Amino acid sequence: MEHNVNLRRSKPTLPEDYTLKDTSPQLGERWPIGNAGRVGVGVGDNNRLASTYDLVEQMYYLYVRVVKAKDLPTNSISRSCDPYVEVKIGNYKGTTRYLERKVNPEWNQVFAFAKERVHSSVIEVFVKDREMMERDDYVGRVSFDLNELPTRVPPDSPLAPQWYRLENRRGEGKVRGEIMLAVWMGSQADEAFPDAWHADAAFVEGDGVYNIRSKVYVSPKLWYLRVNVIEAQDVQSAGRGRRPAPEVSVKVQLGNQVLRTKKCEQRTSNPLWNEDLVFVAAEPFEEMLIITVDDRVDQSKDEVVGKISLPLTLFEKRLDHRPVDSKWFNMERFGFGVLEGDRRKELKFSTRIHLRVCLEGAYHVMDESTMYISDQRPTARQLWTQPIGMLEVGILSATGLLPMKSKNGRGTTDAYCVAKYGQKWVRTRTIIGSFSPRWNEQYTWEVYDPCTVITIGVLDNNQLTGGEGAGVNRDTKVGKVRIRLSTLEADRIYTHSYPLIVLHPSGVKKVGELQLAVRFTCLSLANMIYLYGRPPFPKMHYVHPFTVNQIDSLRYQAMSIVAVRLGRTEPPLRKEVVEYMLDADSHMWSMRRSKANFFRIMSLLSGTINMTRWFHSVCHWKNPITTVLVHVLFLILIWYPQLLLPTVFLYLVLIGLWNYRLRQRHPPHMDTKLSWAEAVQPDELDEEFDTFPTTKPQHLVQMRYDRLRTVAGRIQTVIGDIATQGERVQSLLSWRDPRATGFFIVFCTCTAVVLYVTPFTVVALLVGLYMLRHPRFRSKLPGVPNNFFKRLPSKIDSML
């Protein structure tokens, strides 16, 4: 019996360590050589036995492939044989499935035993006969000495299985029957590793064993389907006794996606819309495009007057912005009630609809947030460019994981990782019952744009029971790591321990650390530099852009399709996992995120604010030496204006060189202070985790609504002040205040004359010296331009 447990724990006396830590794993370790760790006669040269997995720590496994058996003896009582194989090494034991009434059975199963847990020098393979009386008959056995086993590391070819004669129980003589086996020492780089039965999964029940294996998934190929509803002809009213001109609209449905055009402005039997409706479609195109013409019978009821279903394979795939030919389609008649058959025969004309439909291949279908996007290629493969690099990620291990559920009265965690970049998803195997799991699995992706993000999530597997209970429990989120590729140096291996930080209703918590090894390899430096000058998305996103509402809606539909398709795989990548990796709730309201974004803006403006304060101190002679130096620099630039722009760019170069030695030497990670997670209030967290629509009591919703109104009121005031200042600038020449506009026109006339007869150098010198004048020549009252500007009118007087 399993159930989720609360992660709440006592408040630590010391603050949590949310920092990124450097690690020094033994990556790409070679096979041990010597008597203590000798693995026997190798298939290849020992000098090349290092695995191609150079971003993970080598984990050594004993592999046993049970292929088949032949000529097995039958039971003397049942006159049949229900054979199965038992592989035993030390205290570990694995069994194949049993086959009924087979004397020449085939299993083709692989068993993997971690070498570090093996404390025996002999491996035994038993062939047994399963009887109906709940006891097993011994058929025969084969034993191997571990010190004599061959080793194999890819790219070596797979080890060929061999036939072995079965021995009796004591191993003193041969018995009838043979078994085909392959036994070797290997690593996690072996092709048999993902599908092998692992000794640490011996307690997984039934079909749950399929949910713990490592797998690679590919997202479905998504297309935008653009349906341009142009017009219809011969549309007749749905009901009897109505006037012949109906009030119609068109409803278009693709799977669960439903969009509708506006009502035709004119009541006519030949309505015109010319509206574009955009859907998300996935290959293979299994769903039909259903188009329905509805007639408004009354204010709350529509009746179908025509319907047609079209396969998506009928439509053209467009790879650019060229126009697509439109087509007329005849629709089936609806809405005749009981007399439908009779009235259908009376019709001389059927309703026709004019459509222009195409599959857009020049767009990138977004299924993830643009802030954390991992792929920007268009749908059509013909428009792809060559990859500019390779991304290699070694998922090493995790440490300090908290118990995520309770099993047999104690806390436990069955952790696995999911990584997503581009269209490729990877899932590591599940490590059963460990708070410090070791995966040591390495994966590779092609990189088409360095300004992308890879997301790696850690989750707790709740699908280990198999049978009827499988799929009921949701996998628990443990933590997530994002790495932006543009922050990585090329050809450098980054080995760090990333904190796994999650936000709970009780506050921010560190639930463990994830050790990763990451390497970004650049294949073409010229192409990568060229990409920095290119727009991030394909050309069609700028030639024919979507609206903001369309982008949000299409992203949600694409994410739903990806979740459904990946949920059909074996083992399935569950919906909650896909939504977690794609940040499905990133658009939801959060007071914490709002505060974090506000302080991000303040941090962004801090440089300008500090520069303004520094200039104010210079103008007021707070530091006379600095002010004198500014005067000297100002006079040099006045007399040599050609030095102005070179000086500015040279200053930027010096700042960049100064910051080079202070640059970050590790990838960015989740920042709790930047996220405003450490100072968030409990009620704000409770609001962030509320469902949509809300399920909270009325008084709590009212309190939060009033708080939101207060915050929105402040924002409203700031926006109103900005609008007021802009309207005052417009009123300078609008004659809304005739005296102010007249004064301003006279001032502009005089200024034009003065600037015409006075050299620009003299004017700039006088203005600069006036700005830098000594406080003795300053007044504490606001200046004349400021006073004049504040007296100008704005439209605030006309607002209710």
3-state DSSP assignment of residue 509: strand
Return the pLDDT at 790: 82
Largest interatomic CA distance in the chain: 123
Residues of the chain with pLDDT > 90: what percent? 31
- DSSP letters for 368-427: S-GGG------SSGGG-----EEEEEEEEEEESPPP-EEETTEEE--EEEEEEETTEEEE
3-state DSSP assignment of residue 549: helix
Delimit the CATH 2.60.40.150 region(s) of the chain.
Answer: 46-202, 222-360, 387-581
CATH superfamily of the domain spanning 222-360? C2 domain (2.60.40.150)
Local confidence band at 338 (pLDDT 50, 70, 90 cut-offs)? very low
CATH superfamily of the domain spanning 46-202? C2 domain (2.60.40.150)
Q: Check pLDDT > 60 for residue 40.
A: no
CATH superfamily of the domain spanning 387-581? C2 domain (2.60.40.150)
CB atoms within 10 A of CB 149: 20
pLDDT per residue over 290-333, tens digit each? 999 888 777 777 788 888 999 999 999 999 988 899 999 988 87
3-state DSSP assignment of residue 116: helix
Instruction: Please state the length of the chain.
Output: 800
Local confidence band at 52 (pLDDT 50, 70, 90 cut-offs)? low
Alpha helices in 675-737 (DSSP H): 682-688, 698-730
Summarize the confidence of residues 687-708 as an average pLDDT: 79
pLDDT per residue over 525-580, tens digit each? 899 999 988 999 999 999 999 998 999 999 999 999 999 999 998 888 999 999 99
Return the pLDDT at 789: 82
Paired tokens of 461: 């597997």
* Amino acid letter, residue 100: E
Paired tokens of 650: 């040279």
Local confidence band at 32 (pLDDT 50, 70, 90 cut-offs)? low
Q: Check pLDDT > 80 for residue 3.
A: no
Q: Check pLDDT > 90 for residue 359.
A: yes
Angle at 293 between CA 289 and CA 298, to 5 degrees: 140
Higher pLDDT, residue 360 or 508:
360
Virtual torsion, Cα 4, 9, 14, 18, nearest 10 deg: 20
